[in-house]
Chains A and B, each alone.
Chain A
Amino acid sequence: MKRSSISQVYAGVLVNAIYAMKNYPIMLLNSMLMPFSMLVVITLASRGALIGVSILGAFISALVSNGIFLQADLSHLKNDFKLQQMIVSSPTPQINYVLGMAFSELVYISPTLLVLFVLALLFIHASIVGAAIAALAISLIFVVATVIGYMFSTFSSDIMQTWGFAGVISIVFSTLPPVFYPITYIPMPYQYLAYLSPTTYAAEIAQNAMGFISLTQLNIAIDWAVLLAILFVALVVAIKRSRWREI
């Protein structure tokens, strides 16, 4: 029998996003709260000066947070419902399960992204090339967050443990980095702390591409190199360490 990979990916989207959104609409509101509240605070505090960069930051924050909290969703499905055990013992390969779940997070935040897209059209005037570069950088950091989220979910044995992991990773990925404002707003030497977060490199690339900051060619090259290296390492570690079939 020929098996459809698309069906297997679609199953993840249905279970973790579409059916969940249908039955628990409050979760939709929850996914909007964090990026929009920061967007409003930064915009008000800067008297509107940072609205553009804040909208971009809200995009990054929404994607990164949902990528990280994929960990909690997967852990919930794995530990509370034993769904992952059923899937491991089925023809679904690990990659299709993870892809389905990653897409489910995108579907989950699609209303947030749609609102942000409209705001971006209204308040950000960037070139198509700049927007494409920003989108690529944000997509890469989303993949990093998702891969790390998935890997940790395979280690967790209960949801409380997952919340602990997710909280720490969330600080590194979305609190520490300057996503809602340029990194130059952080006084030295604290700027160096921000570079501990992978998100900082994606945020710098995106802010530069949209014209909010101006980086040298060397800085841009370094940001891309670091971001791609982080992605590579995250993928290698996840492939080697994730527990699909336990040992």
Chain B
Amino acid sequence: MFIVNSIECFDLSKTYRGKGESKEALKNVSFSINSNGVFAVIGKNGAGKTTLVRILATQLMPNSGTAKINGLDIITDAKKIRSQIAVMPQEARPVPWMSPRQNIFSYMLWRGFTPKEAITRADKTIKYMHLEKIAKKENESLSGGMKRKVLLATVLASEAKVIFLDEPTTGLDPISRIEIWNIIKRLKKDHLVLLTTHYLEEAEELADNIAILNNGRLVAIGTLEELRHKIPYQYSIMTDTKNMKKIRASLGRCKIVKGKEKTQILANKELANRITTLLVKHNVVFSTSPVSLYDIFYYFARTDIGENNEEE
């Protein structure tokens, strides 16, 4: 049966109190995602991504506000929610003295399946994830990428339709990362995956919706295209830094990020048209593309601390 999953947050706040000091990890976060697919939450270290995941996954209570998973309240309906969610925590590792098959099997038992159902699910997932060759090896002997795949398999073997993946590819090599991406892509149709990541290209590649957290506050949310329209420039033009002398005086108000060899010019559509015409006129080699998530993230992260300028 096809079900549309949802996550809604209402003024979610969390403050950690420790020896004489307190840290606001989340500040009045509100949003609503009502579709299957990948919802990426990006932000710097300490932005509040893991706190958000832990609150939504019913591991941590918020100080104020609440949230709903598939219409169920995280505070009052936690037990019901736990049947519908599964979590791969940040820095989680499969238990070293177990094999991947044992890992998945025991987690299925914890989810309340009978041993027969649990082993069927474990074997089916091992096949689905192409883990047959390592299924009976000790987790301890696996590479970092394989360990992550085992954890992902453990979570995917469950019946959960809302899946939280907290930085699932941190520290992985590019090949392992792409393998994990391919698995996540296959979940999009009938799962809602909340993915936190540092890697902006990962969010760009996988996410249907993206939220940017900065210092505990939600500073932007939307599809990549929607986010592009939330900043003053939508296009990125790259050219050699040495060419800038020829055109610098003719450029209007745009953002210029000067590098040693390459310079990036960020502009809105109208200005980008003018600049590219100008570059053609000066016979300058350049490339143009819509702004990347990196540009969007950088804009919001800096605006939030009052460091953004139209021109640099």
Interface of A with B (CB < 8 Å)? Answer: 1-5, 7-8, 10-11, 14-15, 19-20, 22-24, 77, 80-83, 85-93, 97, 245-247
Contact = CB atoms under 8 A, between A and B. Distances in A.
A90 B109 CA distance: 11
A20 B102 CA distance: 11
Interface stretch (B38-46, B90-98, B238-246, B299-307): B90-98
B86 A89 contact: yes
Given A7-B113, A87-B110, A89-B164, A82 B91 contact: yes
B95 A77 contact: yes
Interface in B126-177: 138, 154-155, 158-159, 164
B308 interface: no
Nearest to A2: B112
B114 interface: yes
Nearest to A77: B95
A87 B57 CA distance: 11
Interface in B92-124: 92-95, 97-98, 102, 105-107, 109-115, 118
A187 B183 CA distance: 69
B87 A89 contact: yes
Contact of B60 (A11, A81, A246): A246
A1 B83 contact: yes
Given A90-B111, A91-B83, A15 B59 contact: no
Given A83-B95, A247-B61, A7 B159 contact: no
B114 A4 contact: yes
B4 to A, nearest CB: 20
B110 A8 contact: yes
Given A23-B97, A91-B82, A246-B60, A85 B113 contact: no
Given A19-B102, A81-B92, A90-B158, 15 more contacts: A1-B159, A4-B112, A8-B110, A19-B95, A20-B97, A23-B98, A82-B92, A83-B92, A89-B82, A89-B86, A90-B111, A93-B79, A245-B61, A246-B54, A247-B61
Contacts of B219: none
B58 interface: yes
In the A-B complex, the 10 residue pairs with the smallest Cβ-Cβ separation, listed nearest first, are A3-B112, A11-B109, A82-B92, A82-B89, A23-B97, A89-B57, A89-B87, A7-B109, A85-B89, A11-B110
Contact of A245 (B78, B83, B88, B89): B78
B97 A7 contact: no
Contacts of B98: 15, 19, 23
